């Protein structure tokens, strides 16, 4: 349980490779979650524009995601839904997870200059309020839509610090850094393409992001925890060797989410 209550992960920041101001692409994608050489789960997401009806709304995009993961001694599934405004700012997020049969929910609402957070876990409810930075991305573990939103947000605001809202405990805001790396060759649906590569650092955890020129995420590797999350029909032509299965130390780093604690 402690390993997976926050498979509600990772982070965000800026130093983009693509500096053009472009709209968030409509996208849907499916990925395989690998631990070392073994497939251990699946995850998918959809990003769609919000069509205005009779009642106008500030929401410009809706984001839906799902995932399942089976590890030694742990099973985990999640579903998420959220909405963003035209500047990709968070309006609301609802994350529901089941870890070894126990349900956890994490809800976020934008409230002026604050995020209002509501959590349910272990039969208890918790509330918190956090400052709302200008560029913030919601980053649950294994939700690949977060990386795609990050890449687009970074492209819109070159040189501006972005933030991760991590669904851990009663909510944590964390800065992170993207470091551009050399482009690499890959295939997608049997067609050769050049993909961009950046290293994302959050605390002591480094992830490798591979994505298309249109900022569509294609693979995320987390070498320290032996995870590689790969878009269906995508293959790096010279992929890094898969790490050994995660060590106990790596597992602890991958699981930053202790059970929620009552706000002080």
With contact defined as beta carbons under 8 Å apart, do 114 and 130 qualify? yes
The pLDDT of residue 239 is 75
pLDDT digits (tens, 9 = 90+) for 81-126: 999 999 999 999 999 999 999 999 999 999 999 999 999 998 899 9
Q: pLDDT > 70: what percent of the chain?
A: 81
Q: What is the mean pLDDT of the chain?
A: 83
Across residues 191-200, what is the average pLDDT? 95
pTM above 0.75, yes or no: yes
With respect to CATH, is domain 27-52+59-254 assigned 2.50.20?
A: yes
């Amino acid at each position: 349980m402690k390993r997976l209550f926050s498979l509600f992960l990772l982070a965000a920041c800026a130093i983009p490779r693509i500096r053009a101001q472009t709209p968030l692409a409509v996208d849907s994608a499916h990925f395989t979650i690998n631990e070392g050489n073994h497939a251990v789960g699946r995850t998918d997401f959809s990003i769609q524009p919000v069509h205005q009806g009779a009642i106008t709304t500030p929401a410009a995009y809706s984001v839906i995601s799902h995932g399942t993961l089976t590890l030694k001694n742990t099973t985990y599934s999640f579903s998420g839904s959220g909405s963003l405004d035209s500047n990709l700012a968070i309006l609301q997020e609802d994350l529901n997870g089941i870890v070894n049969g126990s349900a956890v929910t994490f809800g976020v609402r934008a409230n002026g200059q604050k995020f209002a957070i509501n959590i349910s876990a272990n039969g208890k409810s918790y509330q918190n309020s956090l400052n709302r930075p200008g560029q913030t991305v919601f980053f649950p573990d294994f939700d690949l839509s977060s990386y795609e939103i990050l890449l687009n947000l970074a492209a819109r605001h070159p040189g501006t610090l972005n933030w991760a809202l991590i669904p851990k405990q009663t909510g944590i805001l964390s800065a992170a850094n993207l470091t551009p790396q050399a482009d690499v060759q890959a295939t997608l649906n049997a067609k050769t393409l050049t993909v961009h590569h950046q290293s994302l650092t959050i605390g002591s955890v480094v992830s490798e992001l591979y994505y298309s020129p249109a900022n569509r995420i294609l693979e995320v590797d987390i070498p320290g925890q032996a995870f590689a999350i790969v878009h269906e029909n995508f293959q790096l032509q010279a992929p890094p060797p898969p790490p050994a299965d995660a060590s106990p130390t790596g597992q602890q780093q991958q699981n930053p989410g202790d059970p929620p604690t009552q706000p002080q």
